[in-house]
Amino acid sequence: NAGVTQTPKFQVLKTGQSMTLQCAQDMNHEYMSWYRQDPGMGLRLIHYSVGAGITDQGEVPNGYNVSRSTTEDFPLRLLSAAPSQTSVYFCASSPRTSFVSPPKTGELFFGEGSRLTVL
Amino acid sequence: SQQGEEDPQALSIQEGENATMNCSYKTSINNLQWYRQNSGRGLVHLILIRSNEREKHSGRLRVTLDTSKKSSSLLITASRAADTASYFCATDGNQFYFGTGTSLTVIP
């Protein structure tokens, strides 16, 4: 199995440009999420999804959009890139689900990251 | 912020010594997890401790959890140079929130 696949690995944008970071998982996980990692800040949750058609905001959602049309894919869109969005982005999925009783917990599986620079 | 905090931010030890990292968090949790990140890579899950557990072992790893103090610790025994990495705690409440990490350097 490929696990969690993120593309691209590296991207340079100019301020105001838009782009989409792709994330796909082949483990049939309901839960998917996006984090950004900045020096000294740890990982901060941008958006997450508990299943197809369901998305919600995390700690730092401004400037980012997500959608979840299928279980496998969870793209992250930057509509108008800003230098403050320069970061390393990680997608993660988990078998964790609240759709069963009792809720099933689980670990996060991470992609290898996408390094984004906004000039 | 929902994040926890790890302490210390950086730790340097000799190979064979034990390494202890602490995590404090703010919210109520279902479980707490520890992850490892090698430089330039994604995070890898190490161990999960449920909110009704106080201690858990896995190989050279020992995790404790004190929900009354909202704190956890990760002990790596008999450290190796290959343990050099950043270590993060993550709380699983309604979402997963990560701490700021401890950078561990193990000197051969």
Q: Tens digit of pLDDT for each residue in A55-98?
A: 999 999 999 999 999 999 999 999 999 999 999 999 999 987 77
Q: Do A35 and B98 touch (CB under 8 A)?
A: yes
CB < 8 Å to B96, chain A: 33, 45, 48, 92, 94, 108
Substitution target from B98, B100, B102, B103 for chain A, most A beta carbons within 10 A: B98
A34 near B CB under 8 A: no
Instruction: Please check whether residue B55 is in contact with residue B62, taking contact to mean a CB–CB distance below 8 angstroms.
Output: yes
Q: List the one residue out of A85, A117, A91 whose CA is nearest residue A11.
A: A117
Beta bridge partners of B33: B48, B90
Q: Do A42 and B31 touch (CB under 8 A)?
A: no
What whole-number percentage of chain B has pLDDT above 70?
97
**Both structure tokens of A105:** 């917990």
Average pLDDT over residues B54-80: 97
Residue B31 has pLDDT above 80, yes or no: yes
Give residue B73's Cα distance to chain centre: 6
Q: List the one residue out of A38, A36, A37, A58 whose CA is nearest residue A47.
A: A58
pLDDT, tens digit, for every residue of A17-48?
999 999 999 999 999 999 999 987 889 999 99
Largest CA distance in chain B: 41
Integer Cα distance of A110 and B74 in angstroms: 21
pLDDT, tens digit, for every residue of A76-85?
999 999 999 9
Integer Cα distance of A40 and B78 in angstroms: 27
Instruction: Please check whether residue A114 is in contact with residue A8, taking contact to mean a CB–CB distance below 8 angstroms.
Output: yes
B61 three-class SS: strand
pLDDT, tens digit, for every residue of A105-114?
789 999 999 9
Integer Cα distance of B20 and B40 in angstroms: 23
What whole-number percentage of chain A has pLDDT above 70?
94
Q: Indicate the residue of A35, A59, A112 with minimum beta-carbon distance to B2.
A: A59
**Both structure tokens of A24:** 């796909």
Integer Cα distance of B78 and B55 in angstroms: 19
A89 three-class SS: strand
Burial of B89 (0-12, 13-18, 19+ CB in 10 A): buried
Helix (H) / strand (E) element for B14: namely: strand B10-14
